[in-house]
Chain A
Amino acid sequence: MEIVTIIFVVSGLFFFFAASIGLLRFPDFYARMHATGKGDTLGALLVVVGLAIYTLFEGGFELESILTSIKIIFIAVFIFLANPTATHAIFKAGLDSGVVPWTKEGAR
């Protein structure tokens, strides 16, 4: 079961890594929102699910470890709800304050 945890956490870290690289490389504010807003959501989700599985099996399905796992899953659910909403809010604030989106044609 540790292997499953390792797979989850490592793939989560991969998405975090890709999101950070994307944050540095994408051309403008809006494109960077794509990298951080969503790469982070999936990354955090995978890491947290991996930890929940680890707690569940390490605790040997005792009541206490099951409760801890449920709490960890709740963290994942709330990240899942809050992150897109926050991304949308920041994005809309950018549009409203008149940041011009980068386009391919504009770059040439």
Chain B
Amino acid sequence: MRLIATFIILFIFWMVMAGKFDLFHAALGVISCLIVTYLSGDLLFKESRKGRGKEVVRFIAYIPWLIYQIVLANLHVARLALSPKMSELINPQLIRFKVNLKSDISKVTFANSITLTPGTITADIVGDEFLVHALSQPVADDLLSGEMEQRVAHIFSED
């Protein structure tokens, strides 16, 4: 079942990339997708468990909010970079804080979301402790308010 799903996804991707819908290109696609599915078919879907569909829907709903945050934070960093009084506005600091997320996938999502929003970079995750570098005080306060963490927890039903 997993292998069939992997094959179908690979084949759709192949057809989109090829852009030619004749027999020759489709046959080439089938052959290469079969080889790839045989060699590494267990990579795409690691294990099937319940609630995956709900997570995917919630994750897609999370993306627009994330993009909004990225634009807001990017404007903040752009303003810092262009401001003549930059050295007074920035306040780089390393913050260490605990999160309540349990699974690896939710921690990774949270860490990548932190890195994507400008002004904060995840440096390290040890257990449930995050080490984050923040560029200025407002972005650090934003992060510690925990709104993003709650949203990530909601995606994976951990809240």
Residues 52-78 of B contacting A (Cβ, < 8 Å):
70-71, 73-74, 77-78
When distances are taken between beta carbons in the complex, the residues of chain B under 8 Å from A67 are 16, 19
Using a CB–CB cutoff of 8 Å, the interface residues on chain A facing chain B are: 14-15, 18-19, 21-22, 25-28, 30-31, 33-35, 37-39, 41-42, 63-64, 67, 70-71, 80, 84-85, 87-88, 91-92, 95, 101-104, 107
Bound-state CA distance A34–B81 (Å) is 10
Bound-state CA distance A63–B115 (Å) is 36
What distance in Å separates the Cβ of B62 from its nearest Cβ neighbour in chain A?
14
Q: Are A88 and B122 in contact (CB under 8 A)?
A: yes
Check A91/B121 contact, CB under 8 A, given A38-B74, A101-B94.
yes
What distance in Å separates the Cβ of B86 from its nearest Cβ neighbour in chain A?
6
Main secondary structure of the interface of A (DSSP, over half): helix
The residue of chain A having its C-beta at the shortest distance from the C-beta of B18 within the complex is: A67
When distances are taken between beta carbons in the complex, the residues of chain B under 8 Å from A21 are 81-82
When distances are taken between beta carbons in the complex, the residues of chain B under 8 Å from A27 are 87, 90, 92
Residue from A34, A80, A101, A102 in contact with B118 in the complex, judged by beta carbons closer than 8 Å: A34
Residue from B70, B81, B92, B112 in contact with A18 in the complex, judged by beta carbons closer than 8 Å: B81
Residue of B90, B115, B123 with most chain A CB atoms under a 10 A cut-off: B115
Check A101/B133 contact, CB under 8 A, given A35-B77, A39-B77, A95-B123.
yes
Bound-state CA distance A90–B94 (Å) is 16
Bound-state CA distance A79–B74 (Å) is 16
Q: Are A26 and B115 in contact (CB under 8 A)?
A: no
When distances are taken between beta carbons in the complex, the residues of chain A under 8 Å from B91 are 103-104
What distance in Å separates the Cβ of B153 from its nearest Cβ neighbour in chain A?
20
When distances are taken between beta carbons in the complex, the residues of chain A under 8 Å from B70 are 38, 41-42
**Chain B 91-120: CB-based contact to A (< 8 A → 1; otherwise 0):** 111100000000000000001100111110
Residue from B17, B74, B81, B116 in contact with A26 in the complex, judged by beta carbons closer than 8 Å: B81
Bound-state CA distance A34–B76 (Å) is 11
The residue of chain B having its C-beta at the shortest distance from the C-beta of A22 within the complex is: B81
Q: Are B19 and A64 in contact (CB under 8 A)?
A: yes
Bound-state CA distance A21–B78 (Å) is 9
Q: Are B122 and A42 in contact (CB under 8 A)?
A: no
What distance in Å separates the Cβ of B58 from its nearest Cβ neighbour in chain A?
19
Residues 115-151 of B contacting A (Cβ, < 8 Å):
115-119, 121-124, 133, 135
